[in-house]
Amino acid sequence: MFNSLISTIKRWHSKPTQSDSQEMAGSAAKKPRTKSKSPSKPRRVVIPRNDHAISRRDISRAALTVMKRLQEAGFQAYIVGGGVRDLLLNGHPKDFDVATDATPEQAKQLFRGARIVGRRFRILHARIGREVIEVTTFRGHHSDGEEHEAQQSEHGMLLRDNVYGDLESDAVRRDFTVNALYYTTDGFEIHDYTGGMDDIEQRLIRMIGDPATRYKEDPVRMLRAVRFAAKLDFDIEPGTAAPLKELAPLLRNVAPARMFDEILKLLMSGHGVRTFELLREHQLWPHLFPDNAAQLDSPEALELTRQALRNTDQRIRNDQRVTPAFLYAALLWPAINSEQQFLMDKGIPPVPALAQAAQKITSSQLVHTAIPKRFSIPMREIWDMQSRLPRRGGERAFRLMEHPRFRAAYDFLLLREDSGEIPKGLGQWWTEFQQADEDGRTQMVREAPRNSPKGKGRGRRNRGGRRRGAKSGDSAS
């Protein structure tokens, strides 16, 4: 994957390139430059069309249309960020972002139905057909802005940053060098101010500027460093990694709603297992899922967490549906299971103990990440069905299989068995029950154990008339 890129980098390192007046002209064999990450001294390198492999054919028509309209109106326009990075790595970007010197108001005049969104960072959403292209104005240094344009919290977090600048200032205001590469159709060049091409070659995620300061400006950058390292299979440059452990508590200052969105990017993009391991390595995980982190000394809890992420990664690779409800159910389950056992040891029956445990752990998690109701409700149903799946007498098995959350609850049961939390057996019974015909299912129900495993809980007696197939010990659905 990297061979063509590496040869390209070596080629433009070994001959003169188009650059600004600060570059040394006429050098016949230029050595790889020593990277200066100082925002005040950006060093521009321009990679001409013949020395990179990006083609317009690989860029969405909507993004090209946005760039063309901006350029025709007299503005600069560049594809920037992950789109350029992924194209250089032979990837297939899903989204393309455009950076320009036009203000959001100026750009909006060029696109019918465009909307300016955001308060902390004002950006334009330009709709071209069915696609929405994010258009950002070049950022300036926030210290140059007036109070109403740039504000910071007491911890150094940027609360507002709508100070505009030029291409150079925009480059050094971005987070990582590999995300600060600019491609333009005006000459078909790549502009690199921060050494991003070198870091792609060396497979490094490197912060632009002082990492500690940049993390304080936006603690989510710590999660982005891990996410990009996991996604690209890169290493985090030592200086970029060094402050992560110390500054990890700043993640608790991030709004829970924003954190929920970041969790989805971290764990539901197909690289969840590696992301999880990196988050643990840099001690970020306890600030995302503290109740899960507290249980990971248990081999079963650790394996259940890893297996849930492994299954999610596999489903994404197979283009199968994934839902945050199932993943959150798995991540919070070890703590709920532990709390339920604690309550049962105090004499509380299993079902109310589970309800109390679920309420406590969910409320604790909501302090850190929001969980929208469309996910929290099915998450709780998955947990609730774990106590119902062992009870298969009468018509219960048939009714349970018709429950809209049955498949998720069944998969969750298999996950618990695979992790070693509970003995195997019940999952196989439900597998065979789904595969059997009507007569086979009826026979399986007759032969199924009457009580739940380990004698946990006793069902209510049937208070109505005698129901066909009902057995003493069955609980109501």
The C-alpha atoms of residue 215 and residue 209 are separated, in whole angstroms, by: 10
Q: Write 319-322 long-range contacts (CB < 8 A, 24+).
A: 322/268
For residue 350, report the phi and psi dihedrals to the nearest 5 degrees: -55, -45
Catalytic residues: 95, 97, 175
* Other CB atoms within 10 A of residue 10 CB: 12
The C-alpha atoms of residue 200 and residue 245 are separated, in whole angstroms, by: 25
474, two tokens: 């069955």
CA geometry: angle 359, 367, 305, nearest 5 deg? 70
The C-alpha atoms of residue 275 and residue 296 are separated, in whole angstroms, by: 16
The C-alpha atoms of residue 124 and residue 245 are separated, in whole angstroms, by: 35
C-alpha distances out from residue 404 to 154, 176, 412, 422, 465, Å: 48, 44, 14, 24, 27
Cβ proximity of 340 and 350 under 8 Å: yes
Which positions ≥6 away from 464 have C-beta within 8 Å? none
End-to-end CA distance of the chain: 54
